[in-house]
Amino acid sequence: MNMSWIENRFEENVIITSVDLALNWCRKSSIWPMTFGLACCAIEMMSTAMSRFDLDRFGAGVFRATPRQADLMIVSGTVTKKMAPVLVTLYEQMPSPKWVLAMGNCAISGGPFVFEGQYNVIEGVDLLVPVDVYVPGCPPRPEALLEGFLKLEEKITGKRRFPGPESRW
């Protein structure tokens, strides 16, 4: 349930429900990520949750270990063929509404481990689960992950929390 699908479907004199707006605001203010660190990007994800780049400021500091209580799966690291069924099982155990953030080059498209004759790396986690936000980098800086987070919030509500760089010009 991202942006209201009834928006822009009728004429202008139909107002979308404010319950929807309120619920979306609540969902974006309290995204609980699941601890799914696979490889090097996991360390940068942990750095983002730590004191310097505090992710808890945005309400996302509660990392739940069980998928049943998490909203966001941050796939940080390379997905191999052995890990793929585990990832899909965890994704299906999460209750809706749920989101997936592909962090790092490996999760986006296999990263630096794609070469002629490769036999074990899945080239991108979006071959397994639907991905909402892609954060590139090897590993992406914590600021990049925070920006990906804000992008996810923008995707949920339609409005951006802080002004982005482009709106200054």
Partner 1 sequence: MEQIGNMIGWETVKMVVGLVGVLVFVVLNALILTWAERKVAGHMQRRIGPKEVGPYGLIQPIADALKLLGKEILTPREVDKPLYYLAPMIIFVPVLVSFVVIPFDASLQVMDINVGILVILAFSSLSVFSILMAGWGSNNKYALIGAIRSIAQNIAYEIPLLLALLPIIMMTNSFSLKSIVEAQHGLWFVVYQPFAFLIYFIAGVAETNRTPFDLPEAESELVAGYHTEYSGMRFALFFLAEYTNIFIVSAIAVTFFLGGYQGPFLPGIIWFLLKSYLLVFVIMWLRWTYPRVRFDQLLNISWKALIPLSFINLLITGGLLKL
Partner 2 sequence: MVERIKAELGATLKETPVGEADYRERGYHLFAEVASADLLNVARFFDERGFYLAALICVDYKEYLELVYIFSNHASLCKVKITLKIDPAKPVAPTISTVFDCAYWHEREIREFFGVSFDGHPNMTYLFLHEGIDFYPLRKEKIPVSDEDKKALGAFRPGEGEDTFFVNLGPQHPSTHGVLRVVLKMDGEYIEDAQPVLGYLHRMHEKMAENRSYLQFLPNTGRMDYLGPMAFNLGYVTAVERLCGIPVPDRANYVRVILTELNRLSSHLMWLGAYLADLGALTPFLFVFDDREEINDILEPVTGSRLTYCYFRFGGLYNDVDDAFVAGTRAFIERLRSRFSLYEKLVGGNVIFTNRTRGIGVITKERARKQAVSGPVLRGAGIPMDIRKSEPCAAYGEMDFDVPVGTRGDALDMYQVRIREMENALNIIEQALARLPEGPIMTEKAPRKLKPPKGDLYHTVETPRGELGIYIVSDESDKPYRMKWRVPSFSNLMIFPELAKGNLLADAVAILGSLDLVIPEIDR
Measured distance CA(131)–CA(4) in Å, rounded: 19
Whichever of 53 and 113 has its CB closer to partner 1, that residue is 53
Query: Is 42 among the residues that bind partner 2 (CB under 8 A)?
Result: yes
Q: What part of residues 115-154 is at the interface with partner 2 (CB under 8 A)?
A: 115-121, 138-139, 141
Q: Where are the beta strands (DSSP E) in the chain?
A: 33-34, 72-76, 99-103, 133-135
Task: Work out which of 71, 102, 129, 134 binds partner 1, going by CB under 8 A.
Answer: 71
The H or E element containing residue 19 is helix 18-29
Q: How many CB atoms lie within 10 A of CB 96?
A: 7
The answer to whether the CB of 127 falls within 8 A of the CB of 102 is no
Q: Minimum CB separation from partner 2 for residue 113, in Å?
A: 5
Query: Is 44 among the residues that bind partner 2 (CB under 8 A)?
Result: yes
Does the CA dihedral 129-44-142-108 come out positive or negative?
Answer: negative
Q: Which two tokens stand for residue 3?
A: 């942006």
Residues that bind partner 2 (CB under 8 A): 35-40, 42-44, 46-47, 50-52, 63, 65, 77-78, 80-83, 86, 90, 112-113, 115-121, 138-139, 141
Residues that bind partner 1 (CB under 8 A): 22-23, 25-27, 29-30, 50-52, 54, 56-59, 61-62, 64-66, 68-69, 71, 95-97, 161
